[in-house]
Chains A and B, each alone.
Chain A
Amino acid sequence: MSPPNLVTDVLHEVFLYLRPENPFTSQTLPFCLLSCSLVCRIWYDEARPMLNEILDFSVFRLLFDDHHYTTNEINQLAVLLTESRHNRVDYFNMPERMTINVNYTSGMDDFDFAVEGLVNILTLQPPNLTELLFDINHTAYTSVQRVHRITDRFRRLEPVCSTITRLHLLGDAGGPKHHAHVAGLLAALSRHLVSLKLTRFSLDPHTLDSLTRCESLHELELRYIRDGEALHTALPSLTELRIFHYAYDQYVPQDLAVSALARSCPRLESFTIESDHPNLEPIAEFKSMLALATDCLALKTLCLVRYKLADDRFVTLILLRHCRALKRLHLNWCPNLRGGTAVRIKDGAWAKLETLSLQGCSELALGFLRTIVASCPRLQELVVPDHLANQAVEIMTGARFVRQGVRRDHGWDQWKRSERGKENGEEERGGKQGGREQSGGEERGREQSGGEERGGEQSGGRNVEANKGVVKNVEVIKVDVEGNKIEEGNVQGNKVEGNKVEGRNVEGDKVEGINVEGSKVEEKDVEENKVEESKVEEKIVEGYKGKGNKVEESVVPQVVEAAKQRKWRALLPSCNAQRS
């Protein structure tokens, strides 16, 4: 309790004296105000609003991230976190990542004190602190020695070894001969490690050995590593790997590595190869990529940047024939990709594809765009190479895509599918729109604006009502579940009565992204409706633009059934507001 005459007005006045200079920069943490907020509850009530105004709390979330902290500051922060934990103030829950940069201080004595501060923080075990980032991008002898001392200290910390699940090493710590200590830390963390990122690091034998032990690893990101020839020896034990990312500026063949992934990582979901330079040879050849595509059946994301091998044959024989689960495909700056008439998308190839990027593919044929928009029923986002930007307009808008922006210097022209048809014709909006306009995909409508048919978060604040006029033009079918009205519908034979299936994302019912409007019944996980996913793909509601495609009768009534079931009704208030 505070002395009775230190009333809040007085406290407020006093705290104003403790505020750092305006304008506030992150160089000066308001340690005094932070301390005050932890003294007692009255002081907290007075100081916290002031802190909220001036402080970007990411300084707690990403500890020691943006500038060099002095030894004193490190220890002050440790004290603050200790108090926060004791007093159950939320600063303690904020840290997620701690950056360790050994160039904090000048003298070695000070350095030890700084390390103790770091150790104190780690020992507190902030519940969300799971990542360590070591900035070891220097070669000075003292720095290298410091890295040794820190890693040796950390690897003996039991709390560290069980709570740190993400490790990022940025730099080479003076070269492979100094890696034994870092490799030791990696080994100590190996059991629980989920994510490992190495940037400009040399894959020495010690590190490779430790990497082999990281059997729980889900994510491996390697950027500009050196001595990577033996990478494939470590991969077979990483059977839980989900994400593999390899960026390079020097050619080192990695066919063995890719083959190892194909053989050993059945759960791989994301695979990225990024060449830094158009003249670099591809690190994985046709054969190993084919193995990857054939064996990694869970692959959802594939990114190949400046990949010379991505030509029509590659696309046809590997990407179209396999990669059935693919949702996101980036073939950026692939100079040999033409997409000629021989490349046909059929037999359900790319049926789940939602995002396709062809940024910078300067040889791409216009016809390929036509093929894509016609054959990829779930496509929501397409990045067109900028040399086709003008010609693409007709194709894209005809398929109900809306342009997001064009950057010719970056080689891209971005389009997103609109579920309501055209808004105001196509506009060239600068930059990317934040609005979520599409159904399905990974963007779930989270907006709940009680009963209104409006996505609260949409930039552009799209109002369904306002779209009615536009809707007519493209014969979009709008149905209102609650009122059981069919507006502007053209739903003969569909029995889609009383269904509000517009841009619907009824997650609770596992009927995701039904888009009857316009309409392709997309991506339904309709176990309850007992409709096989394959049946509803590429079905188009009868009457839409006279194309004459029909929804299978078996599908729609079951959709209706689901709507009539109590379960769906219970979701209606949120249904009305949700836009997927």
Chain B
Amino acid sequence: MSVRKIKLTSSEGTEFVVDADVANQSVIMRNMLENCEAHDAVIPLPDVTTPILAKVIEYCTHHRTGAPIPTDDANSVPKKTDNIGKWDTEFCQMDQETLFDLILAADHLDIKPLLDLACATVANMIHNKSPEEIRQTFNILNDFSLAEISKDNERMEQK
């Protein structure tokens, strides 16, 4: 039996053809394929733009032979940001906007290792920075000045 081929289409309609084991790294796509009887399948991805989809496929292709990562309970195990491999580090060299879009895509497609990697990369950009430095890194405006945060004041008083 030949390798299953999957055709993925981006929001702009660009088509990408990948092997099944590449697509299967996305839990969403894996579930779709299991339910699909046809040997070759077409999966439209209207939420993912072409450049992002390309990056996702690049990642999944490189990691196609990797062992599946055991699922942890995301909230209980602290995540490490210091065990990112060389290829992964270079892969993440991209502008911030693309990185954030990649996080969203990995989230939607449920590709946990990619999500972890992208989040860890962002976390590393935040690490050891003061609030002002973080603002400068991400070009964020400080919008506190007008509002007082009183809810937590109350809560703290009760403690």
Residues of A bordering B, CB below 8 Å:
1-3, 5-7, 9-10, 13-22, 31-32, 35-36, 38-41, 43-44, 48, 52, 57, 76, 79-80, 83, 86-90, 93-94
Extra 16 A-B pairs, beta carbons < 8 Å, given A6-B100, A13-B115, A40-B143: A3-B97, A6-B138, A9-B107, A13-B119, A14-B119, A14-B122, A16-B79, A22-B76, A31-B128, A35-B130, A36-B134, A40-B135, A43-B140, A83-B131, A88-B147, A90-B149
Of A5, A17, A79, A80, the contact of B104 (CB 8 Å cutoff):
A5
Q: Is the CB of A18 within 8 A of B127?
A: yes
Q: Is the CB of A39 within 8 A of B74?
A: no
Q: Which residues of the other chain, B, contact A89 by a CB distance below 8 angstroms?
A: 144, 149, 152
Q: Is the CB of B103 within 8 A of A13?
A: yes
A4's nearest neighbour on chain B, judged by CB, is B100
Range class of the B interface residue count: 35 or more
B133's nearest neighbour on chain A, judged by CB, is A35
A75's nearest neighbour on chain B, judged by CB, is B130
> Does B126 belong to the interface (CB within 8 Å)?
yes
Would you give the shortest CB distance from A59 to chain B, in whole angstroms?
Answer: 13
**Alpha-carbon distance between A283 and B143 when the two chains are bound, in angstroms:** 62
Q: Is the CB of B141 within 8 A of A1?
A: yes
Of B126, B128, B145, the contact of A14 (CB 8 Å cutoff):
B126
> Does B11 belong to the interface (CB within 8 Å)?
no
Would you give the shortest CB distance from A78 to chain B, in whole angstroms?
Answer: 10
**Alpha-carbon distance between A93 and B147 when the two chains are bound, in angstroms:** 16
A10's nearest neighbour on chain B, judged by CB, is B103
Highest count of chain B CB atoms <10 Å: which of A19, A43, A52, A90? A90
**Alpha-carbon distance between A2 and B91 when the two chains are bound, in angstroms:** 24
Q: Is the CB of B149 within 8 A of A14?
A: no
**Alpha-carbon distance between A57 and B135 when the two chains are bound, in angstroms:** 25
Q: Which residues of the other chain, B, contact A39 by a CB distance below 8 angstroms?
A: 131, 134-135, 140, 142
> Does B14 belong to the interface (CB within 8 Å)?
no
Residues of B bordering A, CB below 8 Å:
74-79, 81, 96-97, 100-101, 103-104, 107, 115, 119-120, 122-123, 126-132, 134-135, 138-145, 147-149, 152-153, 155-156, 159
Q: Which residues of the other chain, B, contact A20 by a CB distance below 8 angstroms?
A: 78
Q: Which residues of the other chain, B, contact A9 by a CB distance below 8 angstroms?
A: 107
Q: List 16 A-B contacts (CB under 8 A).
A: A14-B122, A15-B123, A21-B78, A32-B129, A35-B134, A39-B135, A39-B140, A39-B142, A41-B143, A48-B152, A79-B130, A83-B130, A87-B149, A88-B144, A89-B149, A94-B156
Of B100, B135, B148, the contact of A10 (CB 8 Å cutoff):
B100
Q: Is the CB of B140 within 8 A of A1?
A: yes
Q: Is the CB of B144 within 8 A of A16?
A: no
Q: Is the CB of A3 within 8 A of B126?
A: no
Q: Which residues of the other chain, A, contact B152 by a CB distance below 8 angstroms?
A: 48, 52, 89-90
Q: Which residues of the other chain, A, contact B135 by a CB distance below 8 angstroms?
A: 39-40
Nearest 10 interchain pairs by C-beta: A87-B144, A17-B123, A38-B131, A5-B100, A90-B153, A17-B79, A13-B119, A14-B122, A1-B141, A88-B148
Q: Is the CB of A35 within 8 A of B129?
A: yes
Would you give the shortest CB distance from B111 to chain A, in whole angstroms?
Answer: 13
Would you give the shortest CB distance from B28 to chain A, in whole angstroms?
Answer: 16
Q: Is the CB of B119 within 8 A of A35?
A: no
**Alpha-carbon distance between A413 and B83 when the two chains are bound, in angstroms:** 59
